[in-house]
RNA sequence: GGGCCUGUGGCUUAGUCCGGAUAGAGCGCCGGGCUUCUAACCCGGAUGCCGGGGGUUCGAAUCCCUCCAGGCCCGCCA
């Protein structure tokens, strides 16, 4: 309803002013929508903006009044206020299953996220990638785009070679119940320690790298074995976070199927290509001064070369390619985009997120200084279970366990997604474990309250009206949901959905506090129940877009 | 040294791309509200030279310049 009404007002304003950009802005407390076109018109017409606004208001009124929209000039501002038809339409729309969804789109989207090196468990930095990527994927699907989510498995990297070396020389065995990715990290950390102590080992690592590139069967098997073990651990963590992938694409496939050699030979014919001791591209034409090295002097390829082949493949099978990458990948991301553009292939759209660090400094798998996502999940679940047990002691343990699991997921996902990706953060246990206000559980709670009312209400006649300021404020927010989804997708900013959902919960709670629903009578009871149903459905859809369970009871 | 990102009450942050009407929230602090639909809630109060300086504009947290501070990058790692 918000999108349609905004469109209507924009068209009316364009017709009346003859301006293309009619400067529509949020009306704040003054109005539902406002326009500041009177300012530029004042300059053009050499008349005071306030009198222009007044004149426009009187000319707009006849077209907008039939839609129940009031126009008023307040000084130079044009203020639009929505009336009963808007509220009724918004409530009705919000009752539909899947509310917020956009029109089905043609463009097929491939979205890559997480893609962490399989040399140790996912930590709280990696899961920022997972959660941003997954929320974005959910938003894309909600907005109507067929979307495939991929994990790019780096199974040829030096880090993996180090793990393979460690497996063969350290004789480590997993502890009882130890997750495979945690075991791999133990091997990786110790192997790195040995390499530091004995630089001769580096040559052995180089040998492994060369043999895997030459597709030596035993070496390929060894690499694949450690990667698969680590990935099993990742899948469990990603499952706990509800950030699933549709497909795991293995880097080495692009070596094996010849794609990488094909793209390298294609690039070698470019004027920007240079074959000296290494093969590299000079991208200074695109404003990138660093050499883009694609082949080492020993002839082996680097990650970037395989990544180019991967992106070429994605670009040919999808209409939009989106990557979620850490800020440390900004340079290599720009090089990738520039190179693909250069050869007329579809470059990826890249969403970068800044780093998560610990109070004592940055996280490092190699140094073993990180908070594993698994530990965060376990601790958050433990705290949530404590909390549920205090609040709902009467529930059977199994049910409390299930609620705690959903609450923990909500707390973790919301704590991460609420922050703009471009902001670097310091991980803080206190806010991660906070289940109040500006948190995922807070939004879940508003939804559970709505469900509780509806459960007790019994049957009622759907009635579409919002009388009080609290009801109207709630409907205004409900009406904006489809616009928020569309905006999050258009701007690749999934955190907009998080902000929206929290504001929706705020408004529902305020309404809940001031307006009795079950104790209201007649049409007012029906209208409020219908509004609660609309709010409940919108909260559920918003939570779903955030990958958070909409609990009916908690 | 060069490039990218960030700087908003004690702390965490929305708003910045697309300039408008008294800069929104949460935590913490002070004070209220549970015989009433789930208090993981609600209400009120104190707390802001929107990093500093300059500029553009009728109007700047938002645009431009500059300086300062923090993060990241500048590998034949990924």
Residue A134 token pair? 């997954």
Q: Does residue A46 lie within 7 Å of nucleic acid chain B, judged by its CB?
A: no
Kindly give the pairing relationship between strand A109-112 and strand A147-153. parallel
In this prediction, residue A300 carries a pLDDT of 87
Residue A276 neighbours by CB under 8 Å, 6+ apart: none
A436 φψ region: left (φ > 0), alpha (ψ -120 to 50), beta (else): beta
User: Given this model, what pLDDT does residue A361 score?
Assistant: 86
How many CA within 13 A on the CB side of residue A309?
24
Q: Is the CB of A409 under 7 A from strand B?
A: no
Tell me the nt nearest to A35, Cα to C1'. Answer: B20
Query: Which residue, A68, A64, A78, A62, is CA-closest to A30?
Result: A78
Q: Which residue is nearest to nucleotide B14 (CA to C1')?
A: A499
The closest nt to A384, taking CA to C1', is: B40
Scanning residues 240 through 259 of protein chain A, those with a beta carbon under 7 Å from any atom of strand B turn out to be: 251
CB A106 under 7 Å to nucleic chain B: no
CA distance A282 to A270: 10
Q: What is the ipTM of this complex?
A: 0.96
Q: Which residues of A67-97 are buried (b: 16+ CB within 10 A; e: fewer)?
A: bbbebbbeebbbbbbbeeebbbbbbebbeee
- A154 contact to strand B (CB, 7 A limit): yes
HSE at residue A162, side-chain half, CA atoms within 13 A, is 24
Q: How far is the CA of A17 from the C1' of B21 (A)?
A: 22
Domain ranges of chain A: 2-82, 113-357, 373-545
- Whether A329 sits with its Cβ under 7 A from any strand B atom: the answer reads yes
Q: Which CATH number fits domain A113-357: 3.40.50.620, 3.40.640.10, 1.10.150.110, 3.90.1150.10?
A: 3.40.50.620
pLDDT at residue A356, rounded to an integer: 93
Which nucleotide's C1' sits nearest to the alpha carbon of A305? B78
Query: How far, in Å, is the CA of A329 from the C1' of nucleotide B67?
Result: 29
Measuring from the CA of residue A470 to each C1', which nucleotide is nearest?
B42
φ and ψ at residue A116, rounded to 5 degrees: -75, 150
Q: Is the CB of A435 under 7 A from strand B?
A: yes
Which DSSP helix (H) or strand (E) runs through A326? strand A320-326
A202 strand B contact, CB < 7 Å: no
- How far apart CA A364 and CA A519 sit, in angstroms, is 57
- Between strands A356-358 and A24-26, the pairing is unpaired
Region A2-82: CATH code? 3.30.1360.70
Distance of CA A467 to the CA centre of its chain: 36
Strands (E), A102-197: 109-112, 147-153
The pTM assigned to this predicted structure is 0.96
Distance A309 CA to B48 C1' (A): 51
- CB of A74 within 7 Å of some strand B atom: yes
CATH number of A373-545: 1.10.730.10
The answer to whether strand B lies under 7 Å from the CB of residue A406 is no
Report CA(A437)–C1'(B12) in Å, whole number: 12
Query: Which 155-174 residues of chain A approach strand B with CB closer than 7 Å?
Result: 156-159
In whole angstroms, B75 C1' to A153 CA is: 21
A82: CB partners within 8 A, 6+ apart: A5, A32, A33, A68, A69, A476
Q: Residue A62 CB closer than 7 angstroms to strand B?
A: no
* Rounded CA separation A339/A341 (Å): 5
Protein CA A39 to sugar C1' B54 (Å): 26
- Nearest nt to the CA of A25 via C1' is B20
Q: Which residue is nearest to nucleotide B17 (CA to C1')?
A: A491
Q: In what order do the strands lie in the sheet with A279-282?
A: A273-275, A279-282, A291-295
What gap in Å lies between CA A527 and CA A92, rounded to an integer? 11
Question: A407: which 2 tokens?
Answer: 């609450």
CA–C1' gap, A30 and B22, in angstroms: 12
Nearest nucleotide to A493 (CA to C1') is B17
Is the CB of residue A362 inside 7 Å of nucleic acid strand B?
yes
Residue among A263, A399, A394 at smallest CA distance from A336: A263
Query: Nearest nucleotide to A449 by CA–C1' distance?
Result: B38
d(CA A375, CA A381): 10
Instruction: Return the pLDDT at A81.
Output: 95
Residue A27, CB, less than 7 Å from strand B?
yes
Which of chain B's bases lie under 7 Å from a protein CB? 3-7, 12-15, 17-18, 20-22, 25-27, 33, 36-43, 58-59, 70-78
A367 CB below 7 A from strand B atoms: no
Strand B lies under 7 A from the Cβ of residue A37: no
Block mean pLDDT (10 aa), chain A, length 554: 95 92 90 94 89 94 94 94 96 97 97 96 96 98 98 94 95 95 95 91 92 93 96 97 97 94 95 94 92 92 95 97 96 96 96 92 88 96 95 94 97 96 93 93 97 95 95 96 97 97 97 94 95 98 98 96
């Amino acid at each position: 309803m918000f999108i349609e009404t905004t469109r209507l007002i924009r068209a009316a304003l364009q017709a009346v002013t003859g301006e293309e950009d009619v400067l529509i802005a949020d009306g704040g407390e003054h109005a539902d929508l406002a326009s500041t076109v009177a300012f530029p018109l004042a300059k053009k017409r050499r008349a005071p903006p306030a009198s222009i606004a007044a004149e426009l208001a009187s000319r707009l009124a006849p077209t907008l009044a039939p839609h129940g929209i009031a126009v008023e000039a307040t000084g130079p501002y044009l203020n639009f206020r929505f009336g009963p038809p808007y509220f009724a339409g918004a409530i009705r729309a919000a009752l539909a299953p899947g509310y917020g969804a956009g029109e089905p789109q043609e463009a097929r989207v491939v979205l890559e996220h997480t893609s962490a090196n399989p040399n140790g468990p996912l930590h709280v930095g990696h899961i920022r990638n997972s959660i941003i990527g997954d929320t974005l994927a959910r938003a894309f699907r909600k907005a109507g785009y067929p979307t495939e989510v991929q994990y790019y498995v780096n199974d040829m990297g030096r880090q993996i070679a180090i793990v393979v070396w460690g497996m063969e020389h350290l004789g480590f065995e997993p502890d009882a119940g130890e997750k495979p990715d945690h075991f791999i990290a133990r091997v990786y950390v110790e192997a790195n320690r040995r390499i530091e102590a004995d630089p001769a080992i580096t040559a052995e690592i180089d040998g492994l790298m060369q043999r895997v590139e030459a597709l030596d069967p035993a070496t390929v098997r060894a690499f694949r074995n450690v990667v698969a073990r680590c990935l099993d651990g990742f899948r469990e963590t990603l499952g706990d976070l509800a950030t699933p992938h549709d497909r795991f694409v293995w880097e080495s496939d692009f070596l094996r199927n010849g794609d990488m050699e094909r793209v390298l030979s294609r690039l070698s014919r470019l004027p920007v290509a240079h074959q000296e001791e290494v093969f590299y591209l000079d991208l200074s034409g695109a404003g990138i001064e660093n050499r883009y090295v694609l082949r080492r002097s020993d002839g082996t390829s680097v990650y970037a070369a395989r990544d180019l082949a991967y992106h070429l493949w994605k670009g040919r099978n999808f209409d939009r390619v989106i990557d979620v990458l850490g800020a440390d990948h900004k340079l290599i991301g720009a090089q990738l985009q520039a190179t693909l553009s250069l050869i007329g292939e579809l470059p990826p759209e890249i969403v970068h997120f800044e780093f998560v660090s610990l109070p004592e400094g940055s996280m490092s798998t190699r140094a073993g200084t990180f908070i594993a996502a698994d530990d965060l999940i376990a601790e958050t679940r433990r705290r949530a279970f404590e909390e549920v047990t205090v609040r709902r002691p009467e529930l059977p343990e199994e049910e409390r366990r299930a609620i705690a699991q959903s609450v923990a997921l909500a707390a973790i996902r919301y704590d991460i997604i609420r922050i703009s990706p471009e902001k670097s953060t310091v991980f803080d246990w206190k806010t991660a474990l906070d289940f109040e206000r500006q948190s995922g559980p807070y939004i879940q709670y508003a939804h559970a309250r709505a469900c509780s009312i509806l459960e007790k209400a019994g049957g009622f006649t759907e009635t579409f009206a919002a009388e009080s300021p609290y009801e109207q404020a709630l409907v205004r927010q409900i009406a904006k949901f489809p616009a928020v989804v569309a905006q999050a997708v258009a701007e690749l900013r999934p955190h907009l959905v998080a902000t929206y959902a929290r504001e929706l919960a705020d408004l529902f709670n305020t309404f809940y506090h001031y307006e009795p629903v079950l104790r209201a009578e007649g049409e007012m009871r029906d209208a409020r129940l219908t509004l609660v149903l609309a709010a409940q459905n919108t909260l559920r859809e918003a939570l779903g877009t955030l990958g958070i369970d909409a609990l009916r009871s908690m």
